[in-house]
Structure 1
């Protein structure tokens, strides 16, 4: 990371009715990084939910309709449901300069209601429940283009098995995404890397093909704990030019949830 970049400066700042991305919101190719787009949409819904007291965001999905420009963007929030235990919000992301629709997302928020006699899911033991990601080696197959982009502000680490093969890929942001805390922002910025993590683990990275995702979804069973999110990736990619990637999500407390994406397979320019 460039030491001249203020660590606590958010990637997106609010100016009036728009969100202004800085240079580090860029993707490796054209437009904003997919995780930054998903994080912005999710965080906007989460900010509204926090004001309404809706509880914890447990599910969210964002569809990316076109590349987001590195310029001011507007968000529009709609409330689809606001019940006693759960609420559903929708967010539309637009380019105000052209009024083009960039992305659309939905999120579900749930109010905790403790039940001490309810059945619990036992969590199997494993090294990822005790590992400190900060002590792990840097992601060796990370592809960080020379131009300033979102990958430069992600601290990514490899958890290795007994034979030295990568298993869970951990990541955290070295700068905040938004000028306020966002669980969904944290989740989306990690989950969006499931394809790249799987490709590098399979030995197919770097490649002459790109695997852009047109959507990304996250489902978790509780609020994540800490700044590190782990992804145990998998994928189904085909010579038809179609595929999907997915991953089990972790934090340092254990299994957190799942992520899934729809991928297009395209030759690089």
Structure 2
């Protein structure tokens, strides 16, 4: 099984493995974000042969999505030889549900200056297994393997991977596969019981200074709630080699 099955040139049928955490009859948005990254890369490769790399993925979540067929579309907003801005949408029944703007940039050899001061987290083998389904229902959360070091409510480091492919029978890049896990960050270290306070995110922006490798994706995550109904989940993301970028998600906090 997979999270999606292709049923047309730009249409994909969601499977039960995308079942949401807030409502199990709706899609968890995480796999849909990966699907849009996959659509952007497929469009890029159909148009050009220089394999621009993704530096930023900025998603706006416009609404909920039923577990059904979704449609994707991609257009170039700002073309360029070395940098381009691409916009993609994912929708259902004629209604856009997710909007993505992605910056694609020319790769180059900067290995001699490759460095970051962002701290590493404990490797997955050194973290205890954590069953996220003790907090969250839904097919997507059930499909993910999680290792976690909890510091306090709203503060943790954790690793996530999934045995399921993003799209059945299709080769998907490690970036798109990782993008399909990014949104799990808002939920792996809850500040309050989600049965008492809802805190869904309405966006997600990932900045990457290197492309992810391996099947594990690591998060060093902090959740903050403000006094007037807003919140923020911020993460440094990791692969087996160390930090690779950051993710931010703005939350609507609803007691």
Q: What's the TM-score once normalised by structure 2's chain length? A: 0.86
Match of 1:157 among 134, 138, 147: 147
Q: Measured at CA, do residues 157 and 50 of structure 1 come closer, stay the same or move farther in structure 2, by a change above 3 Å? A: farther
Match of 2:174 among 180, 183, 191: 183
Note if contact 2:85-2:103 (Cα within 8 Å) is conserved in structure 1: yes
Q: Which moved more, 1:108-117 or 1:255-264?
A: 108-117
Counterpart Cα distance in 2 of 1:40 and 1:58: 17
Q: Once the 2 structures are TM-superposed, how far is the Cα of residue 82 of structure 1 from its aligned partner?
A: 3.2
Counterpart Cα distance in 2 of 1:189 and 1:116: 27
Q: Measured at CA, do residues 222 and 66 of structure 1 come closer, stay the same or move farther in structure 2, by a change above 3 Å? A: same
Q: Once the 2 structures are TM-superposed, how far is the Cα of residue 222 of structure 1 from its aligned partner?
A: 1.0
- The residue aligned with 2:247 is 259
Q: Once the 2 structures are TM-superposed, how far is the Cα of residue 149 of structure 1 from its aligned partner?
A: 1.2
User: Are 1:49 and 2:44 matched, yes or no?
Assistant: yes
CA deviation digits over 1:66-112, x for unaligned, max 9?
101111111111012332222221111121xx311111111112221
- The residue aligned with 2:94 is 99
Note if contact 2:150-2:156 (Cα within 8 Å) is conserved in structure 1: yes
Q: Once the 2 structures are TM-superposed, how far is the Cα of residue 134 of structure 1 from its aligned partner?
A: 4.7
Q: Residue 247 of structure 2 aligns to a residue in which SS? A: strand
Note if contact 2:5-2:12 (Cα within 8 Å) is conserved in structure 1: yes
CA deviation digits over 1:40-67, x for unaligned, max 9?
2222112222333332212101111110
- How many pairs does the alignment contain? 246
Q: Residue 43 of structure 2 aligns to a residue in which SS? A: helix
Q: Once the 2 structures are TM-superposed, how far is the Cα of residue 192 of structure 1 from its aligned partner?
A: 1.0
Note if contact 1:90-1:105 (Cα within 8 Å) is conserved in structure 2: yes
Q: Once the 2 structures are TM-superposed, how far is the Cα of residue 246 of structure 1 from its aligned partner?
A: 0.8
Note if contact 2:58-2:204 (Cα within 8 Å) is conserved in structure 1: yes
User: Are 1:20 and 2:13 matched, yes or no?
Assistant: yes
Q: Once the 2 structures are TM-superposed, how far is the Cα of residue 24 of structure 1 from its aligned partner?
A: 0.8
Q: Once the 2 structures are TM-superposed, how far is the Cα of residue 193 of structure 1 from its aligned partner?
A: 2.2
- The residue aligned with 1:3 is none
Counterpart Cα distance in 1 of 2:195 and 2:174: 32
Q: Residue 66 of structure 1 aligns to a residue in which SS? A: coil
Q: Residue 204 of structure 2 aligns to a residue in which SS? A: strand
User: Are 1:222 and 2:210 matched, yes or no?
Assistant: yes
Q: Once the 2 structures are TM-superposed, how far is the Cα of residue 157 of structure 1 from its aligned partner?
A: 0.7
Q: Measured at CA, do residues 168 and 116 of structure 1 come closer, stay the same or move farther in structure 2, by a change above 3 Å? A: closer
CA deviation digits over 1:220-260, x for unaligned, max 9?
10111101111111122124221111100111101110000
Note if contact 1:43-1:183 (Cα within 8 Å) is conserved in structure 2: no
Counterpart Cα distance in 1 of 2:72 and 2:118: 40
- The residue aligned with 1:173 is 162
CA deviation digits over 1:122-141, x for unaligned, max 9?
5577553xx2x256322255
Match of 2:2 among 2, 5, 10: 10
Q: Structure 1: state its 5+ residue gaps.
A: 1-8
Q: Once the 2 structures are TM-superposed, how far is the Cα of residue 195 of structure 1 from its aligned partner?
A: 2.4
